[in-house]
Amino acid sequence: MTATNIFDLTGKVALLTGASKGMGRAMAGALAAHGARVVVSSRKLDQCVVACDEINAECGERRAFPVACNAGYREQLQQLVDTTHETVGPVDILVGNAGVNPYYGPMSTIPDDAYDKIMTTNVKANHWLVQMVTPDMVAAGSGSIMLTSSVGAFSPSTDLGTYSMSKLALIGLVRNLAAELGPSGVRVNAICPGLIRTDFAEALWNNPEAEARARESIPLRRLGEAEDFCGPAVFLASDASRYVTGQAITVCGGSDMWS
């Protein structure tokens, strides 16, 4: 049997936003398990510390480092990047997983402040973050950027319209960045979750209707779990995906297979 290190991330530095729990926590743990040093950020430092302690215990050594950051503010993102440089070095892997949805209802009645918060945190903040870390990747001649979009990007919604629009805009950002950064060896892709059993999406899945819909309409007959993102994150971060860029990869149990 031929040995392979195609998924080995030893020596790589990964920076993740929205990573203290849920999908972000799962992806951070998976990247660390494959050798990367990971900076785990979210708004609450105590939650980041707990996540890093768990990851380090699982790895048997210190591979995770907590940094508090509200991704909706440019100055905090810059401090996050600066702290990453000081603590572990230049960034090789970026996972922009932080996102918000403070409004549930039709776009016709969304307040300006809610609209601005959604678009700033979900789209503009990821653009800022990419601008801050790509000099590291361009200098190295390689790098992988993953931004969390949603299957909501592929269809309209009468209740989550602005959120879905922000996630479609994020795919547009990914494609343009992939075209711009490709010649420098930097890959950029979007991960599009379906209905995942996380705290963020609890209002959508924690009801009998959602469970019934999962059993009846999702081909794999279940809701997604945070751990379902471990493999995709490692794949996109590693040389296993070295010829994959500009893609919107759905992780949805088959619910959006035609998107």
Check whether 30 has a pLDDT greater than 80.
yes
Query: Does residue 174 sit within a domain?
Result: yes
**Within-domain flag for 110:** yes
Tens digit of each residue's pLDDT (9 = 90 or more) over 121-139: 999 999 999 999 999 999 9
Asked whether residue 181 is domain-assigned, the answer is: yes
What percent of the chain has pLDDT above 90? 81
- Domain CATH code at residue 72: 3.40.50.720
Q: What is the mean pLDDT of residues 163-176?
A: 97
Predicted pLDDT of residue 103: 92
pLDDT at residue number 92? 98
Q: Is 107 exposed, middle or buried (0-12, 13-18, 19+ CB in 10 A)?
A: middle
| Cα separation values, 187 from 55, 144, 179, 180, 241, Å | 26, 5, 9, 10, 9
| Mean confidence (pLDDT) of the chain | 93
Q: What whole-number distance in Å separates Cα of residue 58 and Cα of residue 166?
A: 35
The Cα–Cα gap between 41 and 44 comes to 8
pLDDT of residue 1: 45
38-49 confidence digits (pLDDT tens): 999 999 999 999
pLDDT confidence band for 120 (50 / 70 / 90): very high
Give the model confidence (pLDDT) of 177-229 as tens digits.
999 999 999 999 999 998 887 665 555 556 777 667 766 788 888 888 999 99
User: pLDDT over 70 for what percent of the chain?
Assistant: 93
Among 75-79, 157-161, 214-218, whose mean pLDDT is lowest?
214-218
Between helix 112-119 and helix 161-181 the angle, nearest 10°, is 30
Residue 72 domain flag:
yes
Q: Which domain holds residue 148?
A: 13-194+227-251
Task: Report pLDDT for 209.
Answer: 77
pLDDT of residue 210: 67
Total domains in the chain come to 1
Would you say residue 189 lies in a domain?
A: yes
In-domain check, residue 219: no
Output 211 or 169, whichever has higher pLDDT.
169
Q: Is residue 205 assigned to a domain?
A: no
Q: Which of 73, 103, 104, 163 is catalytic?
A: 163
163 is catalytic: yes
Residue 217 lies in a domain: no
Scored b (16 or more CB within 10 A) or e, 181-197 reads: beeeebbbbbbbbbbbb
Three-state SS letters, the chain: CCCCCCCCCCCCEEEEECCCCHHHHHHHHHHHHCCCEEEEEECCHHHHHHHHHHHHHHHCCCCEEEEECCCCCHHHHHHHHHHHHHHCCCCCEEEECCCCCCCCECHHHCCHHHHHHHHHHHHHHHHHHHHHHHHHHHHHCCEEEEEECCHHHHCCCCCEHHHHHHHHHHHHHHHHHHHHHHHHCEEEEEEEECCECCCCCHHHHCCHHHHHHHHHHCCCCCCECHHHHHHHHHHHHCHHHCCCCCCEEEECCCCCCCC
Residue 160 above 70 pLDDT?
Answer: yes
